[in-house]
Amino acid sequence: MLLVLAKSYSVCRTLELESSDPWPDEVDGVRGNQNLQGTEENCQGLHFPDLGFMTDRMRYQRKTIQGLLFLLFLWTFQRMYHFSTKKLQRMYQCWSENTQTEELKLSDWFFPNAINHSNITTTSWAAPVVWHGTYDEVVLENYYANHKITVGLTVFAVGRYIDHYLHTFIASADKYFMVDQKVIIYILTDNFSKVPWVQLSPLRTLKVFEIKQEKRWQDISMMRMKTISEHVVDHIKYEVDFLFCMDVDQIFVKKYGLETLGESVGQLHAHWYKASLTELPYERSQLSEAYIPIGDNEYQMETAVIDCIGFILAVDYASFSRYCALTERTCGHLIKKNLEKIDYCRDQETEEPQLSDWFNPKKRPDVITTTNWLAPVIWEGTYNRPVLEKYYKRLNITIGLAIICVPGKFSNQSLTEFIQSANKHFMFGYNVIFYILLDGFSTMPSIVLGPLRTFKLFLLVKSGIEKDFYFTYMMNLFNYIISHIQYEVNFLFVMNADQIFKDDFGVETLGKSVAQLSAWWYFKDGDTFPYERRSKSAAFIPFEEGDFYYHSAIFGGTVEEVLKLIEEYQKGVIQDIENQLSSIYEHHLNKYLFIKKPTKLLSPEYNWDPSFRTPPQIKCVKIAWQSKNI
């Protein structure tokens, strides 16, 4: 673009110089009109140009060229950045509506004079002490609404504390902690099997870290902070913006909201708040790293509530007050300065890559890569994942994975192996929530998850059709999508647990409506497809009709499309019952996808049966069926 403008400017200057002088014979600053100097007779018959006319013409040419240059600039800018007029208008409107100061001022939301002056509301280092009545909750909610924050809450529960306190703590935190904000509850425990499972509200998920057992209180105390610091480095710092560490032997009784967020937050000790400096039980041994002289520091801090982001390097309780005394302001409440500034308007206008930008069907001439309704069929070698990664990373998407675990002898083993493999290969590098629907939480296996992965448990409520597990599952999933999932994820996949991820299952699979081609039937003639052939069934597909045979082990898409599929499936089952028929779930799935064509199809590479002889068309198996004899 700069080269084009430079050349255009050069042309402009040349034209300007040529047209700037009405005398054509100027050489070296001397006009070539010496021959006019002489007798008056020599001047007769000569035509002198109209200087006023030539000046106007020169100005017109200059303005015309400047206008053309400006148009050229706009055209080049549009070609480079693809900014349409409507898009620029939308971005300007978005910017006008969402522009705000970099940091919320303390005086905008905190009012220290609003309560009785007998309570301390500001420290000597000008940090606010938050009391009920001193803050404006609405102002804080409006501020944080545009930052899409996630708040973490770690709770440490070992030994008898698991049985006595953990369930009550989680249930109360689910109700009162950071209402309407995304929350991840991190449970650190030495016995996974004893963790009491709680069905969480929308925007809440869980992550469990299992730690080794210790007997001495001092060892447990040291291990607590050491373990939290390790998980902050490995996991938590990638998942949340703020993090609180709390003791398990307490209960939330009122809303614990945004007024508590800060760069580093300390909890004043209820018992010692009114005590004099000499009475505070600081560490008085000069040999200790936690030593504070008598008369120093101002408050005794309670370790039951700590903002761990500001205090992650301190590794034992006695050090906490010492840490606060040395860093002063960090024990107050400050609006977090290092909140990532989300380029909200840019993300709103991020354009999805065209199919031709990332999908090349000519790379696989040996297979069907495009349907007759122009939907891509994803095979190894046909997609350019980095192009899609660049797009989806900017959107900061979350993908949900609902797991169908049919009750049976090996269901726990299948679920464990499925989640372990999904943790490694499913949407690596993206926020993922595993939704596990079980008929009882007592059978929940141990789950160890990596960074950006959390899980959520839902209880299966029995339906009126007792023998049809899939109907019961889909009915429950439909209800949980309505009440929870739609607020938490951008895309949702539903998969059977009796399969194992073998390779990366990435963003090339994302789409509005995604269907899985059956490995059993892909290489066979369409007339042999096992569609429902009874004409009275809602799943009926006549002979000589149908496109592909889809496997029920995997389907997905946007939350809205998954909801529509489940809703139609439920209607079909009810219609069949009224006609005294019963058709399997996979038949209803195929009927729906025959009517409502999927926008993306996954090749058999994404769901292969290893008991088959692998044909040359299968280049890379993404998911393999589990053996029935595990």
For residue 86, give the amino acid letter. K
* Count of structural domains within the chain: 3
What pLDDT, on the 0 to 100 scale, is given for residue 87?
A: 53
CATH, residue 251: 3.90.550.10
Contact 151, 242 (CB under 8 A): yes
What pLDDT, on the 0 to 100 scale, is given for residue 296?
A: 59
pTM, rounded to two decimals: 0.75
Within this chain, do residues 213 and 136 fall inside the same structural domain, yes or no?
yes
Q: What is the rounded distance in angstroms from the CA atom of residue 446 to the CA atom of residue 228?
A: 19
What pLDDT, on the 0 to 100 scale, is given for residue 207?
A: 92
Between the CA of residue 78 and those of 83, 89, 248, 262, what are the distances in Å?
A: 5, 14, 57, 42
Judge whether 230 counts as a catalytic residue. Answer: no
What pLDDT, on the 0 to 100 scale, is given for residue 211?
A: 80
Q: What is the rounded distance in angstroms from the CA atom of residue 604 to the CA atom of residue 372?
A: 18
**Residue 378 Cα to chain centre, angstroms:** 24
Contact 252, 175 (CB under 8 A): yes
What pLDDT, on the 0 to 100 scale, is given for residue 442?
A: 67
**Residue 188 Cα to chain centre, angstroms:** 24
Within this chain, do residues 547 and 590 fall inside the same structural domain, yes or no?
yes
Within this chain, do residues 289 and 142 fall inside the same structural domain, yes or no?
yes
Q: Which long-range contacts (CB under 8 A, 24 or more apart) does 88-91 make?
A: 90/348, 90/349, 91/345, 91/346, 91/348, 91/349
Q: What is the rounded distance in angstroms from the CA atom of residue 331 to the CA atom of residue 334?
A: 9
Q: pLDDT below 70 — which residues of the chain? A: 1-60, 73-103, 117, 215-222, 295-350, 408-410, 442-443, 464-467, 628-630
Within this chain, do residues 305 and 419 fall inside the same structural domain, yes or no?
no
* Three-state secondary structure string covering 266-330: EEECCCCCCCCCCCCCCECCCCCCCECCCCCCCCCEEEEEEECCCCCCCCCCCHHHHHHHHHHHH
- Per the residue annotation, which of 239, 302, 488, 586 is the catalytic one? 586
Within this chain, do residues 435 and 545 fall inside the same structural domain, yes or no?
yes
Residue 378 in any domain: the answer is no
Residue 87 in any domain: the answer is no
Residue 90 in any domain: the answer is no
Within this chain, do residues 293 and 169 fall inside the same structural domain, yes or no?
yes
Residue 71 contacts by C-beta under 8 Å, 6 or more apart in sequence? none
Q: Which long-range contacts (CB under 8 A, 24 or more apart) does 130-133 make?
A: 130/259, 130/260, 130/333
Helix, strand or coil for residue 15?
A: helix
Within this chain, do residues 74 and 220 fall inside the same structural domain, yes or no?
no
Within this chain, do residues 148 and 60 fall inside the same structural domain, yes or no?
no
Within this chain, do residues 257 and 308 fall inside the same structural domain, yes or no?
yes
Residue 365 in any domain: the answer is no
Within this chain, do residues 198 and 65 fall inside the same structural domain, yes or no?
no
455 is in an annotated binding site: no
Residue 287 in any domain: the answer is yes
DSSP string, 36-65: GSS-HHHHTT-----HHHHHHHHHHHHHHH
Q: What is the rounded distance in angstroms from the CA atom of residue 470 to the CA atom of residue 555?
A: 14
410 is in an annotated binding site: yes
Within this chain, do residues 155 and 16 fall inside the same structural domain, yes or no?
no
Residue 362 in any domain: the answer is no
Domain that includes residue 603, residue range? 387-625
Within this chain, do residues 287 and 142 fall inside the same structural domain, yes or no?
yes
What pLDDT, on the 0 to 100 scale, is given for residue 157?
A: 87
Q: What is the rounded distance in angstroms from the CA atom of residue 183 to the CA atom of residue 241?
A: 10
Residue 337 in any domain: the answer is no
**In terms of DSSP H, where are the helices of 456-547?**
469-483
What pLDDT, on the 0 to 100 scale, is given for residue 282?
A: 73
What pLDDT, on the 0 to 100 scale, is given for residue 259?
A: 92
CA dihedral 440, 446, 448, 452 (to 10 degrees): 10
pLDDT, tens digit (0-9, with 9 covering 90-100), for 462-520: 876 656 789 999 999 999 999 999 999 999 999 999 999 999 999 999 999 999 999 98
498 is in an annotated binding site: yes
What pLDDT, on the 0 to 100 scale, is given for residue 74?
A: 66
Contact 229, 188 (CB under 8 A): no
Q: What is the rounded distance in angstroms from the CA atom of residue 342 to the CA atom of residue 345?
A: 9
Residue after which a domain boundary falls, among 266, 301, 331: 331
Instruction: For the chain, give the mean pLDDT.
Output: 79
Residue 300 in any domain: the answer is yes
Q: Which tokens go with 508?
A: 């090339």
